Amino acid sequence: SQYASIEVKAPSNQVDILLFNDFHGNVAEDTRPGKGKNAGMAKMIAYAKTAQRENPNTIVVAGGDNYQGTAISNLTYGAPVSAMMKAMNVSVCAVGNHEFDWGVTNMTKWQKDGKFEFLAANIIDKKTKQPVSWAKPYKIIEKGGYKIAFIGLAHPDTVSLTKAQHVSGLEFTDPAAAAQKWTDYLLAGKDKGGKPDAVIALTHIDSDQNKAGEISGNAVKLTAVQGLNAVLSAHSHRPVSGAVNGVPVVQAYCHGRAVGKLRLTFKENKKLENIEPILDEIWQTKSDIIEDDGGKALYTKFDNKLKPILGELIGTASGEFTHERSEKGSNTLLGAWASEVQRIVGHADIAIQNGGGLRRTLAAGNITVGDLYEIMPFDNYLVVFDLPGSEIKKAIDHGIVNPNITDGQFAGLRVEYDGKKPFESRVTKITLLDGTPLDMNKTYKVVVNDFMFMGGDAYDFSKASNIVETYIPIRDCLIDEIKKAKTIIPVPVDYIKDISK
């Protein structure tokens, strides 16, 4: 095999845990010069296989949000990602919010095809009041005679981060309480496999790290759990490696751009001596990784299946439709265009689009079906309803410089706001496009996607009336508009401004 010459480098008292998270279906390597950071499945497999040769005591784990995000994965319900996970020898995986995008029906198949197990101690089935049937709260994995326990934890906000109907029977409980409960259980030796030598939280819970190395985010709360040795984080797409309260916290960026590591060393009596958090930012060195032969063949197989569907040319963009998701306090060129298309198709006065529902910029030039799948990987549809002006103002305010999510996008309104005012009370003037003030007591026809309508990204449309769920997929609306127009032209956004600037 291509790995035959790799020799063991690690001492026998060392266990390495490798993490990838928020892979989002990025099975193709991004080869754009200077821009392409995604390693792709063939290199991810090669990386994992090499690591397992260099240290046979290596455990590969995933932090969730693996499947949804690219056409090649979406159109096959994640099949190439499962194939990659099997080849990487992934043992266990946290459950990300996007694992629910196509309902829970795939959970069992993914585990079977990928030869791994989902772990979730804090996802409770409302009917049985027990952890869900398709995931385990924890798993003990033995390597080199050392027992490593992983406790799975989902994000407590999963209910508002995915389509409501897909999680309706589930409760997401406090991760720290669940972690403490199961850590106590394991350290009391209650598992039939005996007491583990280390206990690690495998989570889909966010973290961030500033230039000074300080770590923040919801994952930090888990460092207070007594008896927990380390926290593997995900969800916020950040490179994180360090410690809080002496407890290592690692997150491996996203899209296969980095691999997080926990290097555990044990004393002779099997007592844990040290855990070192490491982040290998493989996007900087991926040109040195030789692709795995089998992984390359797998990718080619899936790619060939989809080429004709995705490669279909639907039109051109006369310029770049930017959508920088970190941009605050404005509407992007793509956000404005996508909102206006939805407004027209929905026969509405006003359209509101959550910024995170659009994933990337649309480049100038030819546009394919595949581009639209990457820009809008979610299978959301249009919901049209009547909403009072006061509620519309509230929804717009919720999207302006929102600290938790990508800023909201909209069409059909002119908005002035004061960026110095507190969140959700910044709008100073709001009118229709013709300058007519928005009447707070009158209702207007509004269109949004079903994710937002059900409370996604903490939008509140509970005061809506005359609701029509159209089931018209938004991606199809955008594709149809491009086909009809043949060339789409970005229009500078002049309808939202910060008066404090």
pLDDT tens digit sequence for 359-396: 999 999 999 999 999 999 888 889 999 999 999 999 99
Structural tokens at position 340:
């206006």
Region 68-75: mean pLDDT is 88
pLDDT value for 452: 95
CA 192/CA 198 separation, integer angstroms: 16
- The residue with tokens 């909201």 is 408
pLDDT value for 164: 79
Q: Answer yes or no: are the C-beta atoms of 250 and 233 closer than 8 Å.
A: yes
φ, ψ at 360 (rounded to 5°): -160, 170
Q: Give residue 222's pLDDT band: very low, low, confident or very high (50, 70, 90).
A: very high
CA 287/CA 31 separation, integer angstroms: 9
Count of other CB atoms within 10 angstroms of residue 104? 18
Handedness of CA 121, 122, 128, 133 (dihedral sign): negative
pLDDT value for 358: 95
pLDDT value for 389: 98
Lowest mean pLDDT among 33-37, 78-82, 214-218, 459-463: 33-37
Q: Give CA 213 to chain center in angstroms.
A: 23
List all residues 6 or more positions away from 334 whose beta carbon is below 8 Å from its beta carbon: 321, 322, 323, 358, 361, 362, 375
Threshold 0.85, pTM exceeds: no
Q: Answer yes or no: are the C-beta atoms of 486 and 315 closer than 8 Å.
A: yes
CA 58/CA 108 separation, integer angstroms: 25
Q: Residue 163 above 80 pLDDT? A: no
φ, ψ at 44 (rounded to 5°): -60, -45
Q: Answer yes or no: are the C-beta atoms of 102 and 69 closer than 8 Å.
A: no
List all residues 6 or more positions away from 281 whose beta carbon is below 8 Å from its beta carbon: 239, 253, 257, 258
Q: Answer yes or no: are the C-beta atoms of 338 and 353 closer than 8 Å.
A: yes
> Chain-wide mean pLDDT for the chain?
95
- According to DSSP, residue 391 is labeled H
Relative orientation angle of helices 474-485 and 333-345, to the nearest 10 degrees:
100
Count of other CB atoms within 10 angstroms of residue 276? 16
Count of other CB atoms within 10 angstroms of residue 313? 11
| H, E, C per residue of 53-121 | HHCCCEEEEECCCCCCCCHHHHCCCCHHHHHHHHHHCEEEEECCHHHHCCCHHHHHHHHHHHCCEEECC
CA 48/CA 165 separation, integer angstroms: 36
Q: Which residues face 448 on adjacent strands?
A: 383
Pairing between β-strand 117-119 and β-strand 90-94 as defined by DSSP bridges? parallel
List all residues 6 or more positions away from 207 whose beta carbon is below 8 Å from its beta carbon: 215, 216, 217, 218, 219, 220, 231, 233, 236, 238, 240, 249, 251
Structural tokens at position 370:
């595949």
CA 477/CA 426 separation, integer angstroms: 32
Handedness of CA 468, 471, 474, 478 (dihedral sign): negative
CA 380/CA 255 separation, integer angstroms: 22
Region 10-15: mean pLDDT is 97
pLDDT value for 66: 96
Polymer length in residues for the chain: 501
Q: Give residue 166's pLDDT band: very low, low, confident or very high (50, 70, 90).
A: confident
Cα separations in angstroms, 264 against 10, 15, 52, 142: 11, 5, 15, 13
Q: Answer yes or no: are the C-beta atoms of 298 and 60 closer than 8 Å.
A: no
Region 70-91: mean pLDDT is 94
Handedness of CA 186, 187, 191, 193 (dihedral sign): positive
Region 453-468: mean pLDDT is 95
Q: Give residue 248's pLDDT band: very low, low, confident or very high (50, 70, 90).
A: very high
Q: Residue 160 above 90 pLDDT? A: no
Q: Answer yes or no: are the C-beta atoms of 64 and 234 closer than 8 Å.
A: yes
Q: Answer yes or no: are the C-beta atoms of 463 and 391 closer than 8 Å.
A: yes
List the one residue out of 166, 200, 208, 170 whose CA is nearest residue 68: 166
- According to DSSP, residue 437 is labeled B
Pairing between β-strand 138-143 and β-strand 146-153 as defined by DSSP bridges? antiparallel
E strands, 341-391, where? 350-353, 365-368, 381-388
Region 309-329: mean pLDDT is 93
Q: Residue 345 above 90 pLDDT? A: yes
